[in-house]
Every structure is written in structure tokens, then in C-alpha cells.
Amino acid sequence: MKNLEEDENGVVREESQMKEKRKGKHDKPKPWDDDPNIDHWKVEKFDPSWNEGGMLEVSSFSTLFPQYREKYLQEAWPTVKSALKQYGIACELNLVEGSMTVSTTRKTRDPYIIVKARDLIRLLSRSVSAPQAIKILDDEIQCDIIKISGLVRNKERFVKRRQHLVGPNSATLRALEILTGCYILVHGNTVAAMGSFKGLKQIRRIVEECMLNKMHPVYNIKILMMKKELEKNPDLANENWDRFLPKFKKKNVKQKKANSKQKKPYTPFPPPQQPSKIDIQLETGEYFLSNKRKSAKIWQEKQEKQAEKTAESKRKREEAFIPPKEPVKPVDKSEDAANNVADIAKSLKTKTEKFGKRKSEENLNAETYIMGSSEHASRKKSKKQKSSA
């Protein structure tokens, strides 16, 4: 039994040694792992000396663009062409097929730049402006085009939820751009985003949650703002932030449905049989009429209906020419109203008297006043002389 145990232990030891050997093959500590001066997430700028021989094969990508972008692309194509020429990429705008094509040349040195050029033409086709789309050629900027059309079936809901992303006066979109450090464009059935990998990951999650009605973008903005504040505190760098972040619960408010159909009382008897067309004709006596009289009756009914319709249409046309009734102000017959009228009349009378006096004073001439006084004095003297004589 002892030998068997030793053998079994030996086998187990060999298996554990093999596992350790396989596991530690690529996980050996490197001297630059713990170096604080090295930024492991930094993307180094490509040096053409790394690939002096150039590309062995020609790689090309093409994408279609909508017809309404044709005029803008024709105007902006020289700037796009000059930007790609610096990296040794050839581009072509085909207006007949409605497509854009980029391909490598002998001057191309960076092998990844063709993927960047592919993203550039994809952004241009999704209504991103040319100066903004050219920024994708930078190594630090990436792009993501999120398709949102398949997330919602109902068109009205789709439009409503897409508007939640934009917000009033594009306020929600601008807030997301500031917090994530990315450029966002909501257009049609897609959302185009440009920025860092971290920001693009956040935007994709926010867009999908909004379109699937899991969480409104405003709540995600609140969470991002709180995370930014927590990042400033170095003491919380290695702690879990879940206790600080708000937890939003979705509340479904049940709407009461109006009872349009009322339940009829239950009766064991079947409903009465409806009269047929022949029964109705027998009741009215139409069944016994000749074909000529039947057709004459149908024609008469048709004429009556036509006359009713013409009269209705004439009435609707004449409605536009009928003047609207003027609103009559209600006459206040109370004592207060009568007193108010009397007071207004008195005040007007006093004002007119004052105005008349002022006008008479203005019209008074000094010469006439003096002349009048002299005449009056001469008359007095003449009267005295006559009396003395």
C-alpha cells in the first residue's frame, strides 16, 4: 500500500510540475513591469524607419455614401486627399457608384494607417464633417459607429429614445462629450463617436442603455460626474466606489385602461335572428315593385343624397365669408358704476373750465387792454363837462 501511495504521490507531483511549467511560461516577471517611468497604455507614434521596405501587398477599403452627401464630399475631397497623402494613402471618390475608396501605395510605411483611412471614409459617409473626421488619423484617437436601428422596433419609440440622447438644445449630448472627452454625432440610424478607448466604451454602454430603455442618459451623466469627483481623491484610488454612486431603480407606472366595452348580462337564449334583405323588401313593399320602378326609386335616393352633399359643401364654403360675432361687453348697472360715471363727468367739467380760462388769458392783448382803459376815461370826462354846462 505504501509503494502505491508513493507512486500516486509521484504522479501527482509530476502533473503539478507540468502545470506550473505551462502556466509560468509567459508570466515571467519583466524588468520594466514595475518601472514607474514607463506608461504602458501610451501609444507611441509610428516611426517610418521601423518599416523602410514598405508594404508587400496592396490593401484597399471602400464604402458607399448617401446621395445628399455628394455635394459636400466634392467640396471637401481636396482636404481629405492632402491629409491622406502625408501617410502615403491613395483615395478615390466615385460619384457614379456613390463610393469612396482608400488603398495603400509604395510610399506607405505604417501598416495600421489603412485601417485609420477606412474609419475616415466611414465617418465621412455618416455625416461627420471633414476637419473632424481627419482627426481619426491620429494614433490616440479611435472611432466607433454604433447602430441603433435594430434596438427598437416601434418607430415612434425609436425617435423618442433617440431624442433622449440629444436632449433639449443638444444639452445632454454636450454633457456626454465633456464628461467622456469624445466627439458624438447622432444621425439617422447610427451614433458616431470619436475619442479614447475608455470614452468610447462608456458612450456605447450609455447609448445601448438609452435605446433599450434601461437607463436615461441623465442618470448616467450624474454617475460620470460623481466618478470624476472621486478620481480627484487619492485616498479612494484603490477602493470600491459602489457605495458612493447612486442606484436608480426603474419604476413602471401602470396606466389605467379605459373600459370601452361593457359586459352584457348573460342570457342562456341565443340572440334574435336578423332580418334578411328579402324580408326588409317584403316589409317595405319593394319586393312587389317592377324593375323599372325599383331603378327609379334607387335613382331618386341617389339624387337626394347628392343634393344633401352639395348643400353641405356649399355651407362649408360660405362659412369662410360669414363675419364673426363681436363680443358685447356687459353693462354694469350697479350703484358703483353709476357713481364712477358721475365722478368722471365732474372731473371732465372742471378740466374743460380750467382749459377755457387758460385759453382766454393767452388770447388777451395788452394794447387792447390799454386802449380800452383810455376810451373809458375819455367817456367819463365828456360826461362831466356836459353836466357842468
Percent of the chain scoring above 70 in pLDDT:
80
Higher pLDDT, residue 121 or 347? 121
- Whether residue 208 has pLDDT greater than 90: yes
pLDDT confidence of residue 385: 54
Cβ 89 vs Cβ 105: under 8 Å: yes
For the ranges 18-32, 44-58, 124-138, 244-258, which has the lowest average pLDDT?
A: 18-32
Going by pLDDT thresholds of 50, 70 and 90, the confidence category of residue 2 is very low
pLDDT of residue 368: 52
Encode pLDDT of 104-145 as tens digits: 999 999 999 999 999 999 999 999 999 999 999 998 899 999
- Three-state secondary-structure class, residue 369: helix
Residue 16 has pLDDT above 70, yes or no: no
**Common-topology check for domains 46-139 and 140-249:** yes
C-alpha–C-alpha distance, residues 126 and 58, integer Å = 26
Domain residue ranges in the chain: 46-139, 140-249
DSSP per residue, 292-335: HHHHHHHHHHHHHHHHHHHHHHHHHHHHTTSPPPPPPPPP--SH
Instruction: Name which residue leads in pLDDT, 109 or 253.
Output: 109
Taking the CB of residue 384, how many other CB atoms lie within 10 A of it?
Answer: 9
| Angle, vertex CA 341, rays to CA 337 and CA 345, nearest 5 | 170
Distance between CA atoms of 263 and 271, rounded to whole angstroms?
A: 15
Stretch (H or E) spanning 178: helix 171-180
The residue-averaged pLDDT of 66-77 equals 93
In this predicted structure, what is the pLDDT of residue 329?
67
Q: What homologous superfamily is domain 46-139 in, according to CATH? A: K Homology domain, type 1 (3.30.1370.10)
Q: Is the model's pLDDT at 8 over the cut of 50? A: no
Superfamily of domain 140-249: K Homology domain, type 1 (3.30.1370.10)
